[in-house]
Amino acid sequence: MTARLLITEVQVGDVTILRMSGRLELEEGDLTFRDYVELLVAGGRLKILLDLKAVTRIDSAGIGMLVSKYLSTQKRGGTIKLLHLTRRSDHLMDITRLATVFEIFDDEADAVRSFAVTT
CATH number for 6-114: choose from 3.30.750.24, 3.90.1150.10, 3.40.50.720, 1.10.287.3240.
3.30.750.24
pLDDT tens, the chain, 119 aa long: 446 899 999 999 999 999 999 988 887 678 889 999 999 999 999 999 999 999 988 888 889 999 999 999 999 999 999 999 999 888 889 999 999 999 999 999 999 999 997 54
For Cα atoms 105, 79, 43, give the angle at the middle one, nearest 5 degrees.
Answer: 125
C-alpha to C-alpha distance for 8 and 53, rounded to whole angstroms: 13
Listed in order, strand segments (DSSP E) in 1-119 are 6-12, 15-24, 47-58, 79-83, 104-105
13: left (phi over 0), alpha (psi -120 to 50) or beta: left
State the DSSP code for 114.
Answer: H
C-alpha to C-alpha distance for 92 and 58, rounded to whole angstroms: 8
State the DSSP code for 90.
Answer: H
Q: For the chain, which residues make up each domain, given as ranges?
A: 6-114
- Long-range contact list for 6-12, CB < 8 A, 24+ apart? 7/32, 7/33, 7/36, 12/112
The pTM is what? 0.92
C-alpha to C-alpha distance for 11 and 6, rounded to whole angstroms: 17
